[in-house]
Amino acid sequence: MNNQTVLVTGGTGFLGINTILALLGQGFTVRTTLRTLSRKNEILDALSEGGISTFDQLSFYQADLLSDSGWDEAAQGCDYVLHVASPFVAEQPKDENELIIPAKEGTLRALRAANKAGVKRVVLTSSFAAIGYSIEAKNHVFTELDWTDENAPIQAYIKSKTIAEKAAWEFMKNETTAMELTVINPVGIFGPILGGISSASLDTVIKGIIDGLITENAPFTFGVVDVRDVADIHIKAMLHPQAAGQRFLATSEGVMSFYDVAQLIRKERPQLSEKIAAMQPTPADQYTVMSNRKAVEILDWHPRSKEEAILASVDSYKIADPKN
């Protein structure tokens, strides 16, 4: 047990629930915000599945990214805030502001409440979306120095994450405060599903491939990181003195294409091959290159392999092995 209190926003999310699990496992007192407290039991069930048996170090607060209500109470008395919540959807909305406004305004609400409460550091979950979507990938190694241009023709989610992260750094620039900000930029998050709490990307890619809904390789490759390692890097970034004022690209080594994921499942879980579509491989020179060196060197962060992350998701659907 330690005597520090951490607020995790978005406890009902795939990353949120895994971050709460990791923090409780390390003895932190944890608060989490939910849009509605009626979903509290889903969180308790998921954490029980993760091995937590007592919940006296966990409390719940109602707060919506689109409303001021509840944020000050949630942050008051906290040492750290991990702002994880942000709309993450598979379908493109008709109006991009459906994602941009909650992402940006929610980030500012979390920062304002944290600042008012005298929190030491906020760790913001941004994304590779804010790094890698307006730079020619060929012959480029993506790092924390790269930024997506929000004025480029990009999808609403990518724009929402870029604008939200920029707003957070802008807030810090304009505020005279002892509070610190650190940003984590994860690539596609995979890994095990806790208590049935999955995410849009995981469902789309893994189920899509296994069920044969993805019929062709896509003209891009993507980074993969395990949700347990993303939770871990948030905690490392929260505590490490050198993490203040930094952004960290959170990825395992290498990238994958839909073809690679399909091949991996075929090889390692052959019983699931039946519906997987035949696809053309991605040419070697079209693979994106990205670096996790900063997180490895500064935070001593050592993520699982992309293969382990993908197979953990596959196995979570409890269809990989009928004996599960």
* Residues found near ligand NAP in the complex (CB under 6 A): 10, 12-16, 35, 64-66, 84-88, 102, 125, 127, 161, 186, 188-189, 199-201
Nearer to ligand NAP (CB atom), residue 19 or residue 217: 19
Catalytic residue among 159, 161, 236, 306: 161
Nearer to ligand NAP (CB atom), residue 101 or residue 118: 101
Whether residue 275 contacts residue 210, with contact meaning beta carbons closer than 8 Å, is answered with yes
| Least distance in angstroms from the C-beta of 108 to ligand NAP | 13
Kind and range of the H or E element at 214?
none
What whole-number distance in Å separates Cα of residue 165 and Cα of residue 278? Answer: 38
Strands (E), the chain: 5-9, 29-34, 58-62, 80-83, 121-125, 141-142, 180-186, 188-190, 222-226, 247-250, 255-256, 289-290
Whether residue 125 contacts residue 186, with contact meaning beta carbons closer than 8 Å, is answered with yes
Query: Beta 222-226 vs 188-190: how paired, if at all?
Result: parallel
User: Cβ-count burial of 33 within 10 angstroms (0-12 exposed, 13-18 middle, 19+ buried)?
Assistant: buried
| Least distance in angstroms from the C-beta of 83 to ligand NAP | 8
Nearer to ligand NAP (CB atom), residue 70 or residue 118: 70
Which of 244-277 are b and which e, b meaning 16 or more Cβ less than 10 Å from the residue's Cβ? eebbbbbbbebbbbbbbbbebbeeebeebeeebb
The string of DSSP codes covering 113-151 is HHHHTT-SEEEEE--GGGTSSSS--TT-EE-TT----TT
Q: Is 161 a catalytic residue?
A: yes
Nearer to ligand NAP (CB atom), residue 96 or residue 118: 96
Helix-helix angle 97-116:156-174, to 10 degrees? 30
Nearer to ligand NAP (CB atom), residue 118 or residue 137: 137
Nearer to ligand NAP (CB atom), residue 35 or residue 269: 35
| Least distance in angstroms from the C-beta of 133 to ligand NAP | 12
- Which residue's Cβ has the minimum distance to ligand NAP? 13
| Least distance in angstroms from the C-beta of 3 to ligand NAP | 27
Whether residue 312 contacts residue 192, with contact meaning beta carbons closer than 8 Å, is answered with yes
| Least distance in angstroms from the C-beta of 42 to ligand NAP | 9
| Least distance in angstroms from the C-beta of 110 to ligand NAP | 10
Whether residue 13 contacts residue 189, with contact meaning beta carbons closer than 8 Å, is answered with no
Q: Which residues are catalytic?
A: 161
